[in-house]
Structure 1
Amino acid sequence: MSSEAFLTDFHEVARIGATPAGGVERQAATPEDREVRDWFAAFAARRGWPVRVDSIGNMFALVEWRPGADFVLVGSHMDSQPLGGRFDGAYGVIAALHAADRIATRVAQGAPPPEHNLAVVNWFNEEGSRFAPSIMGSSVFAGLMDEQEMLQVTDRDGVTVAEALDAIGYRGTDERPTPVAYAEIHIEQGPVLEREGIPLGAVDCSWYTQKLDVEVLGEQSHTGATAMADRRDALVAASEVVLLVHDVTEEFEPESMVSSVGYLTLEPNSPIVVPRRVHLVADLRANRPEIVQQARDLLLERIAEVARKRDLTIDVRDFDVRPVQRFPEEGLELSEKVAAELGAGIRRINTMAGHDSVAMNRIVPSVMLFVPSVDGVSHCEREFTTDEQMVVGVDALTEATWKLLHGELDGVREEQR
């Protein structure tokens, strides 16, 4: 298929859940997510590719040449953050569909049939905005998260993952394809490729990630009738915790760590009631595990001081700890070979963000490619990558997938990564 056909499809999908400022909102298992899933299924149906949906909502469009053979999986996710960008995730799925179609056409026209079959995947709930934790579908697939536990995760309204998938008709029962390798292309979500003028990045490792689930428990009281000295205001204490999380990065080398609080709820959330409870999630990431561990320990000490000073309780729980994942050297060399054949520049690059490829790299050799992000921004409506940059990525993904299908990473073992 032509680059024009890819771009037509990409911009068509961007209208599903479109926001006024040019982004999209397609949180997991919402009507907008159902609509984009229907689009995925229709793309496959027009080509005669069967689609499987597994019990955590992952979708697989199958292109089979050898009955009974294992599959190279290629794809990403189509759910988004609230008021998110139209490129994050969806670009990788649409690129994978078009790469698969190009490869199917190539084989039909007489090219050597692949040794493996191909499955284009749309992973469920990569973003984790409606249902935490993120990277859920691929992590369940890889055996890193318990499926039954994830199906019972609830959103803010108490709706479970299972109920939400049932509501949109995408909790399936189909068998999962057996993977032999995985490939994904994604926008960088950072400034490096644009800053250096390089069209492709080959991801060599992911950053260490750790989240802290923080519950601040004060006492509910009247905002007008309670003396300041008598208040046990959970929101005031939580505000101090937010600043502690932000400021802890200053204890380490510049750009070696990032931190944030992106999720916060308070109770009872009334304008005339001193808050009694605040729940927040802190996110710590660094290129070395010991930095995150040191930051965590500092935060626990300082949060305990806030609790003593404010005369309330702050409970902190570790969760969603993700170790550094190193991608196989053979996959990096494959990506560099593809770039050379296309005449495109490429550099090795870390990923600070989590991706489905990080989960899949735990069980099969995986290739992760980046294309530039304008201004390095993501998870917002002004997220942007040019058509030309996306087209280079589709070409690279096509050729990388072709090599995987012909066994170029066969024999790469777990211990080599």
Structure 2
Amino acid sequence: MTISLTPEQLFLEDFHDTYQFGATPANGVDRQAGTREHGEIRDWFTKKAQAAGMEVRVDSVGNVFALYTWNPEADYALLGSHLDSQPLGGRFDGCYGVIAALHAAQQLNEEVLAGKVEPKHNICVVDWFNEEGARFQPSIMGSSVYAGFMDEKKILDTKDAKGIKVRDALEEIGYLGTDKAPIPVAYAEIHIEQGRLLERHEIEIGAVTQSWYTQKLLVTVNGEQSHTGATYMADRHDALTAAAEIVLMTEAVVEGFPGEEIVTSVGQLTVEPNSPIVVPRQVDMVIDLRAHLRSQVEEARATLLSQFKDLEKRRGLTVLAQDFDIRDHQYYPLDGIELTEKAAAEAGRSCMRIETMAGHDSVPLNRIVPTVMVFVPSVDGVSHCEREFSRDEDLVAGLKVLKEIAFQLVGGSLDADEAKVDSALDAMK
């Protein structure tokens, strides 16, 4: 006897199947942008989409689009996220949004073909290239090029730590495309929260209202290389010990602000010459500053720069700090927030308004078309590690909400005004 699976079961089956790509021993994944593992899950996604009757396109910066074109004269409501991960990352970050979008679009297509829905727009599911920014910096790369906020040639020439260009990595895995990208009228993205507010409040759906102000500092500490065994302590100009102080300064700078309104971190650090018997001459590091208010980031930045000057005098070295990857607040349209709340109510799910501390592909998209950002709970608020987890019931609840949002978007409920559409068209020329 053949047992038919429900749409929700089919979704979970597909989502859990993605765990195999870049699987790590502790139940995480490692499929950084442009790697073999990343190429394998994209191949899987492409085959799934084509089997469901979708046209698949790959643009010149490696974004993958799966389309249902019901009206060749109409543009597209986009749904999506990303399939790349952090090193030793989680199985849910980004991947959930792509697979949920794929199934929401398929369910909607069945209703269109059955005559239950008359769409004004077509629908497209997108896997954006290099959202994570782990192998290639900066992050949110593919969607930013698509939206016209990063230069395509510069991005394709960007190199990883081994000197491999984005262009060559994409060609190696078969995703350096030439296809024309679809023109958007709206965008929706569903994602795990990567925090614990929904869990803390026992709420099932988050309607995202805005992004936090974000900026990074590229910091280079220049000391002097010397022998670890033959140089007296008083004669050393150790770049690494100075960098260690900067790491602690970065952590401590939040103490002057209200709790849970600012976060800071040093997530990347490179030591030269990195020899066991040489006092380090140079350390390169990235400081990440994010806050509820722009003024809080700017105040923290000013405090750190002042402390760097004192550090230079005390240790007899130099500290160079360069502003990098500055992202202003993005405010999601009220109509989209209310659309999420209505969709949650239709699905019988609780909902609250919430801000996103992390960056997402929805941030650049929101600058060119009306955009909806939706969260589902993360257990313990853990993300970017192998312990990242969200329950099946929360993933299914999110899928139901996303499907209702997709229905509204193809019906024109959140249509962009002509000025924004023209902006999007100009950005993609």
Indicate the TM-score class for this superposition, using the shorter chain for normalisation. Answer: over 0.9
- Contact (CA 8 Å) 1:65, 1:113: kept in 2 or not? no
Partner SS, residue 370 of structure 1: strand
Q: Deviations over 1:59-112 (max 9, x none)?
A: 000111000211101000000000000000000000000001000111111113
Per the TM alignment, residue 44 of structure 1 is displaced from its structure 2 partner at its CA by 1.2
Q: Deviations over 1:159-192 (max 9, x none)?
A: 1111111111111111111000000000000001
Q: Which residue of 1 aligns with 2:385?
A: 380
- Give the residue type in structure 1 aligned to 2:234: A
Q: Trace 1:228-377 onto structure 2 (pairs within 5 A).
A: 228-377=233-382
Per the TM alignment, residue 341 of structure 1 is displaced from its structure 2 partner at its CA by 1.1
2:197 paired residue among 192, 205, 211: 192
Q: Which residue of 1 aligns with 2:18?
A: 13
Partner SS, residue 304 of structure 1: helix
- Contact (CA 8 Å) 1:364, 1:414: kept in 2 or not? no
Q: Does 1:50 find its partner at 2:48?
A: no
Q: Does 1:98 find its partner at 2:83?
A: no
Q: Deviations over 1:116-145 (max 9, x none)?
A: 011100000000000111101101111111
- Contact (CA 8 Å) 2:33, 2:85: kept in 1 or not? yes
Q: Which residue of 2 aligns with 1:134?
A: 139
1:36 paired residue among 7, 32, 41: 41
- Contact (CA 8 Å) 2:185, 2:416: kept in 1 or not? no
- Contact (CA 8 Å) 2:119, 2:411: kept in 1 or not? yes
Partner SS, residue 180 of structure 2: coil
- Contact (CA 8 Å) 1:208, 1:323: kept in 2 or not? yes
Alpha-carbon distance between aligned partners in 2 of 1:414 and 1:247, rounded to the nearest angstrom: 45
Q: Does 1:393 find its partner at 2:417?
A: no
Per the TM alignment, residue 411 of structure 1 is displaced from its structure 2 partner at its CA by 4.4
Q: Which residue of 1 aligns with 2:71?
A: 66
- Contact (CA 8 Å) 1:71, 1:117: kept in 2 or not? yes
- Give the residue type in structure 2 aligned to 1:253: P
- Contact (CA 8 Å) 2:32, 2:38: kept in 1 or not? yes
- Give the residue type in structure 1 aligned to 2:232: A
Partner SS, residue 129 of structure 1: coil
Q: Which runs of 5+ in 1 are unaligned?
A: none
Per the TM alignment, residue 152 of structure 1 is displaced from its structure 2 partner at its CA by 1.5
Alpha-carbon distance between aligned partners in 2 of 1:60 and 1:409, rounded to the nearest angstrom: 21
The aligned length equals 415
Q: Deviations over 1:324-350 (max 9, x none)?
A: 000000001111111111111100000
TM-score by length of 2: 0.95
- Give the residue type in structure 1 aligned to 2:10: A
Q: Which residue of 2 aligns with 1:148?
A: 153
Alpha-carbon distance between aligned partners in 2 of 1:267 and 1:152, rounded to the nearest angstrom: 24
Change (3 A) 1:413 1:354: farther
TM-score by length of 1: 0.98
- Contact (CA 8 Å) 1:124, 1:138: kept in 2 or not? yes
- Contact (CA 8 Å) 1:362, 1:414: kept in 2 or not? no
Q: Which residue of 2 aligns with 1:165?
A: 170
- Contact (CA 8 Å) 1:363, 1:414: kept in 2 or not? no
Partner SS, residue 9 of structure 2: helix
Alpha-carbon distance between aligned partners in 2 of 1:197 and 1:254, rounded to the nearest angstrom: 21
Q: Which moved more, 1:246-255 or 1:282-291?
A: 246-255
Alpha-carbon distance between aligned partners in 1 of 2:272 and 2:64, rounded to the nearest angstrom: 37
Alpha-carbon distance between aligned partners in 2 of 1:253 and 1:198, rounded to the nearest angstrom: 24
Alpha-carbon distance between aligned partners in 1 of 2:235 and 2:7, rounded to the nearest angstrom: 69
Partner SS, residue 14 of structure 1: helix
Alpha-carbon distance between aligned partners in 2 of 1:139 and 1:193, rounded to the nearest angstrom: 28
Q: Which residue of 1 aligns with 2:32?
A: 27
Greater than 2 Å deviation, 4+ residue runs: 411-415
Per the TM alignment, residue 413 of structure 1 is displaced from its structure 2 partner at its CA by 7.6
Per the TM alignment, residue 253 of structure 1 is displaced from its structure 2 partner at its CA by 1.3
Alpha-carbon distance between aligned partners in 2 of 1:326 and 1:48, rounded to the nearest angstrom: 35
Q: Deviations over 1:193-244 (max 9, x none)?
A: 1111111000000000010000111111110011111111110111111111
Q: Which residue of 1 aligns with 2:232?
A: 227
Q: Trace 1:201-220 onto structure 2 (pairs within 5 A).
A: 201-220=206-225
Change (3 A) 1:92 1:402: same
- Give the residue type in structure 1 aligned to 2:166: V
Alpha-carbon distance between aligned partners in 2 of 1:270 and 1:234, rounded to the nearest angstrom: 13
- Contact (CA 8 Å) 2:186, 2:416: kept in 1 or not? no
- Contact (CA 8 Å) 1:365, 1:413: kept in 2 or not? no
Per the TM alignment, residue 283 of structure 1 is displaced from its structure 2 partner at its CA by 0.2
Q: Does 1:111 find its partner at 2:111?
A: no
1:89 paired residue among 86, 91, 94: 94
